[in-house]
Amino acid sequence: MTVTRWGALYRGRRFACAIGRGGIGHKRGEGDNVTPVGTHRLTDVYVRGDRLQLPGARVIGPRALWCDAPDHPDYNTQVQAPFGASAERMHRPDPLYDIVGVLDFNRAPVRPGKGSAIFLHVWRGPRVPTAGCIAFARVDLVWILERWTEGSRVVVRG
């Protein structure tokens, strides 16, 4: 899948999407709101099991968090509440994280402060900026993930 500021293209189909409010580029660090340029693998898919079923996806439970504390050993990984450091809630009242595709950006090895929680997820609306993630209409994200293969990649171009 190719992603630019104008949208995404996957398997011959074009999709509207939202990117980080900092645009597409080289991430400077945690909280810069930049969608990272490059070629990324999808390492995991999570869903809110009470709202959606997607074969092969892990379930986002009510205690699910994503650690965004650069000085913590669990930085940029999924953790459970209660948790003693800064972390983003994955089990949200809104639909943004009903589906989460985790990109391999800063995952192995993890570099503290480089950036965390770079996901594919459900958007707030067309072209409404994210904090660095790539967001789609729910129906489009389901379509993409149902056709995703191990060889598929997210290619983000600036």
For position 16, which CATH number holds?
2.40.440.10
Catalytic residue among 17, 40, 67, 121: 121
What DSSP character marks residue 129?
-
Give the pLDDT of residue 48: 98
Q: Which tokens hold the place of 141?
A: 């994200």
CA 87/CA 90 separation, integer angstroms: 9
- The mean-pLDDT minimum among 21-25, 117-121, 125-129 falls in 125-129
Tell me what the mean pLDDT of segment 10-15 comes to. Answer: 99
Q: Contact at 8 Å (CB) between 60 and 47?
A: yes
State whether the Cα torsion 50-15-151-36 is positive or negative: negative
Give the pLDDT of residue 69: 98
| Host domain of residue 124 | 2-156
Q: How many domains does the chain have?
A: 1
The answer to whether 121 is a known catalytic residue is yes
What are the pLDDT digits (tens) for 50-71? Answer: 999 999 999 999 999 999 999 9
CA 71/CA 68 separation, integer angstroms: 9
Report the SS3 class of residue 48: coil
The mean predicted confidence, pLDDT, of the chain is 98
Helix (H) or strand (E) holding 144: helix 138-146
CA 121/CA 45 separation, integer angstroms: 10
